[in-house]
Structure 1
Amino acid sequence: MSRMETQLKLYMAAVELIAEQGYSATTVDAIAERAGVAKGTVFYNFGSKDALFAALLEHGIHRLADSLHQARQSEPGDALRRLDAVVMAQLRFFEEYGAFARVLLAEMWRTTWQDAVARLREQALGVYADVLREAVAAELLRTDLDVETAATAVFGMVLTVSIEHRALHPERPLTEIHSTLVDLLHGRIAGRNAAAAS
């Protein structure tokens, strides 16, 4: 097994355990056991539990941001359609990586992980902010929209809905959830411009 494969196994084990019981209660022994490796493997690859969690956040945020960026780039429609595509990409990502969604919500806002928060803001929320700026420039959204706050709000809303979907309503199709979210978004952030355009 390559070092990258070992690290991915450790990420998977760590994120599942942290989602189940919290960061403080998760031990290196438990991570190693869940991953099916020796405890020394964790230290060899990362040096400490803190370093493993920091690397896990970096890895997950990068993959999430890449998914959002690809959705934005591949949508040929206007900026609102690109926004809708990014929302769906986030829903799909957290459908696949539900444990990471719970970890983001519960653990990463502590002061210890401020570097990870900065990367999340720059990389993932940055995709939302960019597409919102495009929509404002195209006069599809209110010109006085606070883009940074809106990006954070949209990301947080989709994150929370994703967690609730997995926990309480896994049978509901993502397309139905997406439709509700974009209706809310278009109604709240677009104001009169979107109503006139539709």
Structure 2
Amino acid sequence: MGILEDGGHAAFTIAAVYERAGVAPPFLYTRTASKDALFLAVYEHGIGRLRHEREVFADAARWAGLSPPDLVRAAVAEIPHIFLRHQRFLHAVVLISSTHPEVRRCGSQYGQELGESFADVLRPVAAAMTHDDPRAAVWPSFGTVFAAAMISVAYGPGFAMPDAVDDEDFGRDMGETAVRYLLGGVTH
């Protein structure tokens, strides 16, 4: 994982792996079919760590007693926090997803799972949402936060913005955007 996080996909070579692992090349070749198979195994490990982070959304006590705006803000804030905790891994692989079908498939599946967890947390405040179909309205909010956080991780916080914002401001701004969209401007 370290090679991928330190140098990205281009640095992830069989030579770099066996050098870092301190083993001879034949040792790796007997355990993996190709560089791509090894890369996918490392990628799956990284995605597994991200999947573990979704558990925060299953912690009912974490979300209990929050007002609708505070619940939306807190749920939204978790998305960039998860991505930031895994920034080195995500930065190394997010751009690969455009050219690697298996990385794209697995990343998309993870995004959908994360979106479902996010939607489940917001389900209790559906009655406060100003949309005819609150469940459907949650997905554009999630998609906006997911995409913005992923772009920030891939390209840096100042990408496509005149002024870079720090991570806390970014999460807060995304939360306020979601509150306004989902709850019709209620911000207190």
TM over 0.5: yes
Partners of 1:160 and 1:127 lie apart in 2 by 21
- Match of residue 63 from structure 2: 75
The CA deviation at 1:106 is: 0.2
| SS of residue matched to 2:131 | coil
2:114 is matched with 124
Code of the residue aligned with 1:155 in structure 2: it is F
Aligned to 1:100: 89
Number of paired residues? 178
Whether 1:61 aligns to 2:51 is: no
Structure 1 pair 85/196, CA: closer, same or farther in 2 (3 Å)? Answer: closer
Other-structure match for 1:184: 177
The gaps in structure 2 that reach 5 residues or longer are none
Does 2:153 align with 1:165?
A: no
Aligned-pair distance for 1:124? Answer: 2.3
Q: Which runs of 5+ in 1 are unaligned?
A: 1-10
Identity %: 21
Q: Is the 8 A contact 1:133 1:147 kept in 2?
A: no
Write the deviation string for residues 130-172 of structure 1: whole angstroms up to 9, x where unpaired: 335554x3333523444444433321112223442399xxx96
Superposition TM-score, scaled by structure 1 size: 0.67
Q: Supply the AA of the counterpart residue of 1:12.
A: G
Using CA pairs under 8 Å that are at least 6 residues apart, name the structure with larger relative contact order, 1 or 2: 2
Kindly indicate whether the alpha-carbon contact (under 8 Å) linking 2:5 and 2:88 is maintained by their aligned counterparts in 1.
yes
Cα distance per residue 1:104-148 (max 9 Å; x no partner): 42012432434413431342233234335554x333352344444
Q: Residue 52 in 1 paired to residue 38 in 2?
A: yes
The structure-2 alpha-carbon separation of the partners of 1:26 and 1:78, relative to structure 1 and needing over 3 Å to count, comes to: same
Report the aligned-residue RMSD.
3.4
Counterpart in the other structure of 1:6: none
CA distance in 1, matches of 2:72, 2:32: 36
Q: Which residue of 1 aligns with 2:103?
A: 113
AA at the equivalent of 1:177: F
1:24-35 equivalence runs, <5 A:
26-35=12-21
User: Using the alignment, how far apart are the partners of 1:108 and 1:114 within structure 2?
Assistant: 4
Q: Is the 8 A contact 1:83 1:132 kept in 2?
A: yes
Secondary structure of the corresponding residue to residue 142 of structure 1: coil
- Contact persistence 1:125–1:151 (CA under 8 A): yes
